[in-house]
Chains A and B, each alone.
Chain A
Amino acid sequence: MASNSIALKHWSRIISRWPVDKVRPESVSFQTLMRKRLEKYQNPAKAAEAAKVKGNEYNIRAADLTWDEAKEMKQANALYALFENRFAKDAPFPKKLRFPESQPTHYDDIITESERAPSRGFLTKMTDKLKGMIRLR
């Protein structure tokens, strides 16, 4: 894989621009896993070593580690399409569904919650949990 591959440059841009997910663990984040995916091409021996499963040596197939420039360009194209919200523009979220009658602030609450949740302290988490257990209507 040539280090001046254009597709690789696109990949690096995409990984750096991908929105950071504060709620889920970093080990399963897009950035971590896609970097691992690209590293396999840079260092095939190390990747093969890491992929070994104990007791399963006979079943290991060496992954096809040839860098396919055209395929990777298509991957980058699809990811850019997601960045540009192409599908959200093609079929916008209708207002009737965005602010549903039964819970008008539902989606806004989700966003607020996802921003506040990672930085919550232990005591706040406990109080919120207890408050959530008793729902008075």
Chain B
Amino acid sequence: MSVCTQCMRALRRQARLEQLTLSQTRPSQLRCLSTTSARYQQPQAQSKPESQVQPGTPPSILTTAPTITSNLAADAPPPAPAAGSPSNAPTSASSQVPAPSTAEMQKQISSRLGSSRVGGGIGHKIATSLRSAAKSTTETYITYGLTEAMFKSCAAQAPYTIPEDQRMGVYTGKGPPKNARAEDVGVPETSVPGSQGAQSWWFTRLGLEPTFSVWSQVCFLHMYILTVKLRTLPDQRTYMEYQRYLLEHFSSVAEDKMILLHGMNARGVRNKYLKDLFVQWRGIQYAYDQGLVSGDAVLAGAVWRNLWKADEEVDWEKVALVVGFMRRAIAGLADSDINDIATNLQQSSQYWEQAQQGLDGMVNLESTGIRDNLREEAAAEKAL
């Protein structure tokens, strides 16, 4: 096919543009230092049924919301005709549309950079070389990534949202319903990856409401379980870094929810609530620590005060279920490595679900207190 000079100029321009985009995307490749690189680099490790897979195309490993730098694995409509041959790609791109979309450009670049994402492309190579050359400098990125994976799993356990038509209650007068504590009551969120949404144990079995307060308390509970494991890190400073990042992720998402779902546009109000949440988090750590060593009754008291806000009409069977869940989840983490835990939690909520199995049976067993008392009663009646 002969190419006219104008098309030749367009092709050269295109190639230069791609070169420029290539050099500009290098800083974002450093994000491969986090565990997100595992998501992009190893498709066989992932099996997410809810991701956007078109029939006939290789499975997408997209797990984050599409953004300008994270959408490397997106299928741009229409799909590129020949991902493998670089000479065809510029011609097809330039002949189809004058300015291809960002997703299309990124797809072309990534197909050229790494022949296959298994084993990683240039980003992964940069990441591993930086990691071996400057271990302590890159440590914080690793911590950030691991804690992000851990936190996302915690946040997915009791996910809630406020329907869009109820979010602007201040302006439209149609806000979300309020419960007896004057909290906004939302609905369980169904689109969180790795979460059971409305079928979550916390909503179905424990009957908790989908509110911000329940979401934050359930997050804290799971974060606490992970903190107990993080304390086993050899260095206290590393442990504190992990703690700080975990709380950082929580605060960031909590603030997002305050703005988007509850319409708290005033920074001062949000800061007040965030400080309150920090105090709650510190209190929870102390209370649950005390409960772990002092016995189930003390732990149940702590769970009752935090998760159920010291409700008089609480169902103690449910509190007992949560105590059982906590103990099992903590005991199960003893022998695993932190990296393995983060990877496991990133893939699914299976670990938490396993800890929830069989607790009803345990709670329903007849306790010695009931059995003995009835015997005493019967003996007293006989004596009379």
By the criterion CB–CB under 8 Å, are A81 and B231 in contact? no
B340 touches A (CB below 8 Å): no
A88 cross-chain contacts in B, Cβ below 8 A: 295-296, 327
A33 cross-chain contacts in B, Cβ below 8 A: 310, 312
A91 cross-chain contacts in B, Cβ below 8 A: 324, 327-328, 330-332
| A 30-56 to B, binary, CB cutoff 8 A, 1 in contact else 0 | 100110110000000000000000000
| B 348-384 to A, binary, CB cutoff 8 A, 1 in contact else 0 | 0000000000000011111111100110010000000
By the criterion CB–CB under 8 Å, are B234 and A75 in contact? no
Q: Which of A37, A82, A100 contacts B296 (CB 8 A)?
A: A82
A74 cross-chain contacts in B, Cβ below 8 A: 317
Q: How far is the CA of A85 from the CA of B369 in the complex (A)?
A: 12
| B 265-306 to A, binary, CB cutoff 8 A, 1 in contact else 0 | 000000000000000000000100110111111101100110
B235 touches A (CB below 8 Å): yes
B239 touches A (CB below 8 Å): yes
| B 185-204 to A, binary, CB cutoff 8 A, 1 in contact else 0 | 00000000000000000000
The closest CB in chain B to the CB of A37 belongs to: B312
B contact residues, total (Cβ < 8 Å): 54
Within residues 295 to 342 of chain B, which ones have a CB less than 8 A from any CB in chain A? 295-298, 300-301, 304-305, 310, 312-313, 315-317, 319-320, 323-324, 327-328, 330-335
By the criterion CB–CB under 8 Å, are B305 and A86 in contact? no
B228 touches A (CB below 8 Å): yes
The closest CB in chain B to the CB of A110 belongs to: B289
Total inter-chain residue pairs, C-beta < 8 Å = 153
By the criterion CB–CB under 8 Å, are A81 and B298 in contact? no
A82 cross-chain contacts in B, Cβ below 8 A: 296-297, 300, 316, 319-320, 323
Within residues 77 to 130 of chain A, which ones have a CB less than 8 A from any CB in chain B? 77-88, 90-94, 96-98, 100-103, 106-108, 110-111, 114
B333 cross-chain contacts in A, Cβ below 8 A: 97
B158 to chain A, nearest CB (A): 21
A6 touches B (CB below 8 Å): yes
A24 cross-chain contacts in B, Cβ below 8 A: 305
Q: Which of A79, A80, A97 contacts B228 (CB 8 A)?
A: A97
A90 to chain B, nearest CB (A): 7
Q: How far is the CA of A96 from the CA of B319 in the complex (A)?
A: 26
B229 touches A (CB below 8 Å): yes
By the criterion CB–CB under 8 Å, are A86 and B365 in contact? yes
Among B231, B234, B313, B366, the one with the most A-chain Cβ atoms within 10 Å of its Cβ is B231
Among A14, A81, A86, A96, the one with the most B-chain Cβ atoms within 10 Å of its Cβ is A81
By the criterion CB–CB under 8 Å, are A83 and B297 in contact? yes
The closest CB in chain B to the CB of A104 belongs to: B231
State whether A110 and B232 are in contact (beta carbons under 8 Å apart), knowing that A21-B301, A33-B312 are contacts in the complex.
Answer: no
A110 cross-chain contacts in B, Cβ below 8 A: 286, 289-290, 293
Q: Which of B328, B335, B363 contacts A78 (CB 8 A)?
A: B363
Interface size class of A (residues with CB under 8 A): 35 or more
A137 to chain B, nearest CB (A): 9
By the criterion CB–CB under 8 Å, are B320 and A78 in contact? yes
Q: How far is the CA of A34 from the CA of B313 in the complex (A)?
A: 9
By the criterion CB–CB under 8 Å, are A86 and B362 in contact? yes
By the criterion CB–CB under 8 Å, are A94 and B334 in contact? yes
The closest CB in chain A to the CB of B228 belongs to: A97
Q: Which of A30, A85, A96 contacts B295 (CB 8 A)?
A: A85
A6 cross-chain contacts in B, Cβ below 8 A: 373-374, 377
A84 cross-chain contacts in B, Cβ below 8 A: 296, 367-369
Q: How far is the CA of A87 from the CA of B365 in the complex (A)?
A: 12
By the criterion CB–CB under 8 Å, are A93 and B331 in contact? yes
B128 cross-chain contacts in A, Cβ below 8 A: none
By the criterion CB–CB under 8 Å, are B231 and A97 in contact? yes
Q: How far is the CA of A84 from the CA of B363 in the complex (A)?
A: 12
Binding site for A on B (CB under 8 A): 228-229, 231-236, 238-239, 286, 289-290, 292-298, 300-301, 304-305, 310, 312-313, 315-317, 319-320, 323-324, 327-328, 330-335, 362-370, 373-374, 377
The list of the 3 closest CB pairs from A to B, nearest first, reads A80-B369, A80-B367, A100-B231
Not counting A9-B373, A82-B296, A103-B236, a sample of 9 additional A-B residue pairs whose C-beta atoms are within 8 angstroms of each other reads A80-B368, A82-B320, A83-B369, A84-B367, A87-B320, A93-B327, A93-B331, A96-B334, A96-B335
Contact sample, A vs B, 17 pairs, CB 8 Å cutoff: A19-B294, A19-B295, A21-B301, A28-B305, A28-B310, A74-B317, A78-B320, A80-B367, A86-B367, A87-B320, A90-B324, A90-B362, A92-B331, A97-B232, A97-B330, A102-B238, A102-B239
